Amino acid sequence: MKIILGEQQLQLTIKRLAHQIAENHLQLQNTVIIGLQPRGVFFSDKLVHELKLLVAPNKVEYGKLDITFYRDDVRKSLHVANKTDILFSIENKNVILVDDVLFTGRTIRAAFDAILDFGRPQKVALCVLIDRRFSREFPIQPTYTGRAIDTFISEKVKVYWKDKDGREEVELQ
């Protein structure tokens, strides 16, 4: 086991990503944030909290998306569905998808399919806490990256959140 990000590094990384998003999307005008269920929402909740400190809180449109039934492996293994909570249209909006770990790209591919049910976005960006480079099965690259790491296919990246796990850190196992 190796710690990739400790608690303090994790907090600084989230603040940095919030600042990068705020810099590229002034006042988050015409921009929505969508966290991917299940684990991406722990990260997106914290990211949105930081964004609300940088721009007026009412300017932050935030939703949560469950992609369970859009996955191409849903028939191969049992997935527990989560709740989608998007109370706004994404038609002609800048959408920032938020997930904790980018690995093969299959989750993001499914998210692309799922968001089209809510409208046709003007542009889609991807914000990830950890980018496991060189593991892609789809040509997907993040726009905003907390930390890019090189891993073996047999290794696992675990993100722990205080709300769920009692500690905050990212480990390579």
- pLDDT value for 78: 52
Mean predicted lDDT score pLDDT of the chain = 93
Counting beta carbons within 10 angstroms of the beta carbon of residue 115, is it exposed (0 to 12), middle (13 to 18) or buried (19 or more)?
A: buried
pLDDT at 156 over 70: yes
Look at the domain 2-172 and name its fold: Rossmann fold (3.40.50)
DSSP for 118-163 reads G---SEEEEEEEEEEET--SS----SEEEEEEE--TT--EEEE-HH
Q: For residue range 5-37, what is the model confidence (pLDDT) as tens digits?
A: 999 999 999 999 999 999 999 999 999 999 999
pLDDT band at 68 (very low <50, low <70, confident <90, very high): confident
pLDDT at 76 over 80: no
pTM (predicted TM-score): 0.93
- pLDDT value for 80: 59
